[in-house]
Structure 1
Amino acid sequence: MDKPKSEKLDIIIPAFRGHSQSFLMVLEGISEEDALKRIEGRTNHIIWMVGNFLDMRYAMGNVLGLSEEFKYKDFFFQGKALDESFSYPSLQDLIADFHSISPLVYQRLLQVTDDELSKAFPMGMNIDFFPEDVLNFVGMCIGREDYLCGQMGLMRRILGYDAMKYDFDLNMKY
């Protein structure tokens, strides 16, 4: 396993890589048509979930100093509500974007220092047990990714697909 400069990220590094794998495995075989389906008009569709996942990757990258901008942020920035009037990007376009941003964020996670992680990052939460700093923002992004993978897994089953397989690609280094 890659060793980050900051020991504070010892738990984040495997989570990030695990989420990368889960993201791809949960989407395996999902058709473009099914990726836009909603359940009884009450759920978000998989495309929205995928875009939200990517918004988290870009947010992590940005808070860690990367300048890459999510080209689809107008659809997904900060959990923007699903809008059925939008013509969302394709699942394949979003997956390609995932493969572009994820290695960059991963390398940055390996390089970030304790000083950088402890920098204030105001989130407006004003919760006394939650310091608003870069480290906790990264942790929140990781938590959100986990939540979104779970939602996509549930949608996968509801749409009639087999359960996600855990066929990890040990050659994928992000």
Structure 2
Amino acid sequence: MDTPKSKKLDIIIPAFRGHSQSFLMVLDGISEEDALKRIEGRTNHITWMVGNFLDMRYAMGNVLGLNEEFEFKDFFFQGKALDENLNYPSLQQLKESFHQISPLVYQKLLEVSDEELDKAFPMGMNIDFFPETVLNFVGMCIGREDYLCGQIGLMRRILNYEGMKYDFDKDLKY
């Protein structure tokens, strides 16, 4: 495993890489058509969940100093609500964005210093037990990714796909 410059990221690095794997495995075999299905009009569709996952990756990258902009930001920025009147990007397009941003964010996670992680990053939460720092923002993004993979996994089963397989790709380095 790669060693981050900051020991504060010892738990984040494996989580990030694990989420990269989970993201790809949970989407395996899902059709473009099924990715746009909602359950009883009450759930987000998989495409929206995937876009929100990517919005987290781009947000992490931005807070760590990357200047990459998510091509489909207007659909998903900061958890923008699903809009059934929009023509969302395809799963294939979103997967391509995933493979573009993920190695860049991973590299930044390896390079970031404790001083950079400790910098204030105002989120407007105003919760006394939650310091608004770069590190805690990264942690929130990681938590959101985990949540979204779980949601997609549940949608997989509801749409009659097999459960996610845990066929890890040892060559995927991000």
Aligned equivalent of 2:163: 163
CA shift, 1:131, in A, is 0.2
Task: For 1:18 and 1:136, locate their aligned partners in 2 and report how far apart those are by CA, in whole Å.
Answer: 19
Q: Secondary structure at the match of 1:151?
A: helix
Aligned equivalent of 1:152: 152
Match runs of 1:22-101 below 5 Å:
22-101=22-101
Task: For 1:38 and 1:10, locate their aligned partners in 2 and report how far apart those are by CA, in whole Å.
Answer: 37
TM-score between both structures, scaled by the size of structure 2: 1.00
1:44-67 Cα deviation digits (max 9, x unpaired)? 000000000000000000000000
Task: For 1:86 and 1:28, locate their aligned partners in 2 and report how far apart those are by CA, in whole Å.
Answer: 24
Q: Secondary structure at the match of 2:150?
A: helix
Q: Secondary structure at the match of 1:127?
A: coil
Match runs of 1:78-157 below 5 Å:
78-157=78-157
Give ranges in structure 2 of 5+ residues lacking alignment. none
Task: For 1:159 and 1:92, locate their aligned partners in 2 and report how far apart those are by CA, in whole Å.
Answer: 19
1:114-169 Cα deviation digits (max 9, x unpaired)? 00000000000000000000000000000000000000000000000000000000
Aligned equivalent of 1:21: 21
CA shift, 1:37, in A, is 0.2
- Indicate the RMSD between aligned Cα atoms, in angstroms: 0.2
Task: For 1:171 and 1:48, locate their aligned partners in 2 and report how far apart those are by CA, in whole Å.
Answer: 28
* Residue identity in the other structure for 1:166: Y
Give ranges in structure 1 of 5+ residues lacking alignment. none
Tell me how many residue pairs correspond in the alignment: 174
Q: Secondary structure at the match of 1:125?
A: coil
Identical counterparts, % of pairs: 84
1:16-64 Cα deviation digits (max 9, x unpaired)? 0000000000000000000000000000000000000000000000000
Q: Secondary structure at the match of 1:77?
A: helix
Q: Secondary structure at the match of 2:81?
A: coil
- 4+ runs of 1 displaced by more than 3 Å? none
